[in-house]
Structure 1
């Protein structure tokens, strides 16, 4: 069982540099909402999509137009946007002390069954950036559609240090 940390995840920013991961620009809302809200020591992110600058990077449903590998890549893109939103809100990813919740919504055809393989795109990035001790439980759901015809929407809640 993974529990909340008492010290910041030292080195998340350095890990990004070491891995050669450049975060996209922080996402901006598509409607009347905010990308992130901090309540106490939790930072809640709005649904993160595989877009960069409002431009979809992957469109379609997994199991129809897209393969599980395409979905994995879309999950990677969406979680990188989430990391960018966290950095924009907090100033540094090093202020994240725990990943509290990861939800991955996958637009699929009815008989698709490899949801966990697709969701691993998000989990793998979080593990690389924050380390394996920060991996959270997750929810993975198949849905009929996601805004803009996108295949993935990521829900993320992180614990943060003051």
Structure 2
């Protein structure tokens, strides 16, 4: 798919309202980095965690202490944090013209195999907000651990206008 070739017919900000989604406060770094960097027409987001107001919403490993559904919800919350970071950086989600790549990193028990089901929590949120025409390439990886003990971390590369 060519980035931005299937731009949504309804704006992302209006979709948020229609879906009744309220974004959390924009995330703040837990270290020496920034949440978003724009280079040319690309916006790179740092790893987004399922954290609201600097408090992890889930702790543990998927397939261990947490279920697949817990992991999906954690991925969705990380996605909401990403949307909040995008809006803070660009001023509006309507400047997003393409989702180039989504990375989903999942802290899992050693024998866990349902990574795609967990990652869909983030992918489905992005599809609802930006439209299914903006589904992206994706990488999903299992990890031994993630920052703060959270089960999911996502990263995004977006094409943006202006």
Short-chain TM bin = over 0.9
* Structure 2 residue aligned with 1:4: 3
Give TM-score, length-normalised by structure 2.
0.97
In structure 2, the residue corresponding to 1:13 is in which secondary structure? Answer: helix
* Structure 2 residue aligned with 1:105: 105
Contact 1:8 1:160 (8 Å CA) reproduced: no
* Structure 2 residue aligned with 1:132: 132
* Structure 1 residue aligned with 2:92: 92
Return the offset for 1:8.
Answer: 6.0
Contiguous gaps of at least 5 residues in structure 1: none
C-alpha distance in structure 1 between counterparts of 2:6 and 2:41, whole Å: 12
C-alpha distance in structure 1 between counterparts of 2:25 and 2:124, whole Å: 21
C-alpha distance in structure 2 between counterparts of 1:154 and 1:104, whole Å: 5
Residues 94-138 of structure 1: per-residue CA shift (max 9 Å, x gap): 000000110000000110000000000000000000000000010
| Root-mean-square deviation (Å) | 1.1
Return the offset for 1:53.
Answer: 1.1
In structure 1, the residue corresponding to 2:121 is in which secondary structure? Answer: helix
C-alpha distance in structure 2 between counterparts of 1:5 and 1:131, whole Å: 11
Change in CA separation of 1:137 and 1:7 when aligned onto 2, cut-off 3 Å: closer
Contact 2:6 2:133 (8 Å CA) reproduced: no
Return the offset for 1:29.
Answer: 0.3
Contiguous gaps of at least 5 residues in structure 2: none
Runs of 4+ in 1 over 3 A off after TM superposition: 6-10
Aligned pair 1:160/2:160, yes or no? yes
Residues 42-98 of structure 1: per-residue CA shift (max 9 Å, x gap): 000000000011100011100000000000000000010000000000000000000
* Structure 2 residue aligned with 1:15: 15
Give TM-score, length-normalised by structure 1.
0.97
* Structure 1 residue aligned with 2:36: 36
In structure 1, the residue corresponding to 2:4 is in which secondary structure? Answer: coil
